[in-house]
Structure 1
Amino acid sequence: MNKNKLEALLSLLDDPDKEIHKSVEKELIELPVSTIPQLEDFWLESKNPIFQERLEMVINKIQFKTVKRELIEWSSNENPNLIDGAILVNKSYNPNLLIDPIRKSIQKIKDDVSLEISDNLTALEKIKILNHFFYNIYNYQALSPNQPTNWDGDISTVLSQKHGNYIIIAIIYAGIAQELNIPVYGINLPGSVFLCYKDESSAKSNTENTNSILFYINPIDKGTVFGRKDLQYIIKAKNIVNKAQFYKLASNTSMIKRLVQHEINVYKKLNLNSFIPNFKELFRSIIE
């Protein structure tokens, strides 16, 4: 869009006629994210609070639309990266998120773990090493679900604070493992997030095959390892209907959807309702 047309549209953004400014807004939010610096310049130059408020809303919608598109593309990948998915969720409400510090934090853990891991180690030995660095050296831990905050699912904040909600802790743990070629994935159990270790010899097997799972991992209990019978006991203790799907690998997209759903629940509890429509839109846009 050329500058003259952009200026003409912006001049109508504070029009008192609702139909006019809504029509202008609809056209503006289709602008590419690269236009935002120009829009921000117009915002700074204006002394009109109505114009500034409406332009700020336009900028937010452009940013969200961009992140939503990126999340759809992410979920369309054959092997979507868990850490990247969590970054996109964080970016949906913090468009100025700095990604480089996140990636440096993840890389530091990966570098430390990779120095101790080799192909001749058993699956349990690899998890023991990962647990040592993740929980004992870097001191990551899950917050109590009884104390929800509006940041406990932000991967950027969690990496700096070393604690977060149980879903983001599981995502970071599994994401690091996967980037180290350690086949750790989520399982979808209501009210809990457990992980599992996929049999590497079954790497090409269907993810629906529970026989390809060597053991399960509790990421909020310092990576405690347990077997299928223990999982059966946990399901019985939770008094929920025992379903075959609870023992199967969950896709990375389903893990990110659980993170978004958790954000919806937390923001409802905190009465931060203005964020919820965007979260719901993100949830619907993720392809499983």
Structure 2
Amino acid sequence: MEPTKEISALLNLIDDPDEEVFGAVSNRIVGFGRTIIPNLENLWELTPDQQIQERIELIIHRLHYTDLVEDFRQWNLAGHHDLLVGSLLVAKFQFPELITSPVLLEVEKIRRNIWLELNNYLTPLEQVRIITGILYSYHSLKGTEIAYSDINEFLLNKILESKKGNQLSNGILYLILCDLLDIPVKAIGVPRQFVLAYFKQGYNNELSSNQLDKVEFFIDPTSGMVFTHKDIENYFKRISVPLVDSYFKPLNNKMVIQHLLEEASKCFDNEKEYYKKEEMQVIVKLLDE
């Protein structure tokens, strides 16, 4: 059978009431790759039945997801694990047709605004105050509590668009900017929070018995507020968790993206979209390979 005739035959079978038949049909359609998406979109527009439209949407999602998994696999194989690229891949889970150039331009605009204010004579605290002032005051970024009702608050493109993100997504934007500006701010593994730390010059990622001594101060990316060592010690006392050095080891970019995927997946903890939660968890495990 010629491919075009086979595609037409498969599309005609999408409305088959037998779920087993539909499963086989959808698997075969996905096998054609993303080039078949225009055919599916055209069929969706011509289909008045909402249930059939949902089936078509599911197949289109599977096609995009297959490509996304491969993109994550390639990102994982790269040595640097660029945080900006990883964040955009997470955004593409929800917005597969995302055009990344406006996001990249906006990040570059913020980076340049900060860079123009920096110089070699600033203290670490002065550097961070400039970053915070530009990001939260000049660019009006707002922080919210982490909730799992809106996936957009986890996605870089939507944060830049709405000027609103949660502690995790704001923190990742903060990390991206610091990485581009060569400022030693890293995420750390403080329990129940996504906290950033400004590391002293010459720090390394190796865990030692004085990990906390490598940190100048801490940053809450919800608002950019700075915290001292004493503030962090008080927090650990409040949650009754021992102050262990491993909590203050810098998280690498892959760990940050895995954390973002895990947290964002909780937005799909409902019967209708639970498959999306499982798909995000598959990517998390893929990054461990």
TM-score range, shorter chain: 0.7 to 0.9
**2: CA distance, partners of 1:117 / 1:12:** 62
Alignment TM-score, normalising by the size of structure 2? 0.84
In structure 2, the partner of 1:160 is 161
| Larger mean Cα displacement after TM superposition, 76-85 or 133-142 | 76-85
Q: What percent identity do the matched residue pairs reach?
A: 23
Paired residue secondary structure (1:139): coil
In structure 1, the partner of 2:34 is 33
| Larger mean Cα displacement after TM superposition, 267-276 or 234-243 | 267-276
In structure 2, the partner of 1:64 is 65
In structure 2, the partner of 1:216 is 218
In structure 2, the partner of 1:236 is 237
Query: Structure 1, residues 220-248: CA drift from partner, whole Å, max 9, x if none?
Result: 24241523x54333222221243322111
In structure 2, the partner of 1:10 is 11
Which aligned segments of 4 or more residues in structure 1 are displaced greater than 6 angstroms? Answer: none
Q: How does 1:15-164 map to 2 (within 5 A)?
A: 15-46=16-47, 51-145=52-146, 148-164=149-165
Gaps of 5+ in 2: none
**1: CA distance, partners of 2:273 / 2:43:** 29
Structure 1 residue 277 corresponds to structure 2 residue 278 = yes
Residues 200, 34 of structure 1: alpha-carbon distance in 2 compared, 3 angstrom cutoff: farther
Residues 146, 24 of structure 1: alpha-carbon distance in 2 compared, 3 angstrom cutoff: closer
Number of paired residues? 285
TM superposition shift of 1:46: 5.0
Paired residue secondary structure (1:197): strand
Counterpart residue identity of residue 139, structure 1: S
Counterpart residue identity of residue 124, structure 1: L
| Larger mean Cα displacement after TM superposition, 274-283 or 156-165 | 274-283
Paired residue secondary structure (2:58): helix
Counterpart residue identity of residue 191, structure 2: P
Counterpart residue identity of residue 15, structure 1: D
Query: Structure 1, residues 26-67: CA drift from partner, whole Å, max 9, x if none?
Result: 122233324322332343345666654433221111112222
Residues 271, 191 of structure 1: alpha-carbon distance in 2 compared, 3 angstrom cutoff: farther
**2: CA distance, partners of 1:206 / 1:144:** 29
Alignment TM-score, normalising by the size of structure 1? 0.84
Counterpart residue identity of residue 226, structure 1: T
User: What CA RMSD, in Å, does the superposition of the two structures yield over aligned residues?
Assistant: 2.9
Gaps of 5+ in 1: none
**1: CA distance, partners of 2:120 / 2:15:** 63
Q: Is the 8 Å Cα contact of residues 67 and 88 (structure 1) preserved in structure 2? A: yes
